[in-house]
Amino acid sequence: MLQYIKAELYRLARKRSTYIYYGVLVAAFVGIMLLLVNVDSPTFFLELGFGLVQVVSLFVTTQVFLAVYCDDIASKTYANTISTGLSRTALILSKVLLFVIHTVTVFIGLVLVYGGLYVYYGGSFEGTQLILVQGLLKFLVCVIASSVAYATLSSIVLLQFQSSTISVALYLFFNLGFVYNILNMVRNIIPFLDEAMQFSITEQIMNLMGSGPDLSLNVQFFGIMAAYVLVSISISTFLFNKKEISV
């Protein structure tokens, strides 16, 4: 399993298209910030960051999902990977870890770019600005954790149907809130749904961010995110072990 993860990290690190993609993304990000931000207001710069995290995270995590999960579908290497002796369970666990590593690595780079611009505009790390910085980092952690949960949920469909298109569409539906909004519309009609929705990823993020902008991250949030991931891994493993690999 460790050897597979190392090999995949090496493959991902050598993908030229990834560097081009993020080069364009960073250039667009910096360009937008230079156009929109009032150089006399670092506070506005931070407030704008919350919206940017939502938008940028969609581009980042979707690319990571495609690279980590869907590349093997396109190149038809899942069967070859299993034939090397790697168990299907280990493969599923490896994909989750690779998604986490890839996502965190990209966001570290983007945070450094964003932080550099913030300092360039005269931002500080004290008083009100420090509170906003903490809130922004807290929100980023929430977004990363939710993306991992959405990716593992979507991977169930990927491994079952062995189709990138369906799984990516589902991942986007989760991330854009379509699934939550649909369920939210009928939560008062279905008796058990209203209570169950309290444990939805979206409501967990809203509750956590509503507790204040400080960096406190409660155990319940990570416990529920971990539950989503573990249940998804269990379902994926069960279905994948019964599925004949055609890719």
Cα gap 79→150, rounded to integer Å: 24
Residue 104: the pLDDT is 96
Joined together, the tokens standing for residue 60 give: 């980042």
The pLDDT value given to residue 65? 94
Q: CA 64 to CA 173: how far, in whole Å?
A: 16
Beta carbons of 151 and 65 less than 8 angstroms apart: yes
For the packed helices 201-210 and 127-161, what is the interaxial angle rounded to 10 degrees?
170
Positive or negative, the CA dihedral 78, 82, 83, 85 is: positive
Q: Which residues of the chain have pLDDT under 50?
A: none
Per-residue model confidence (pLDDT) at position 131: 85
With contact defined as beta carbons under 8 Å apart, do 213 and 131 qualify?
A: yes
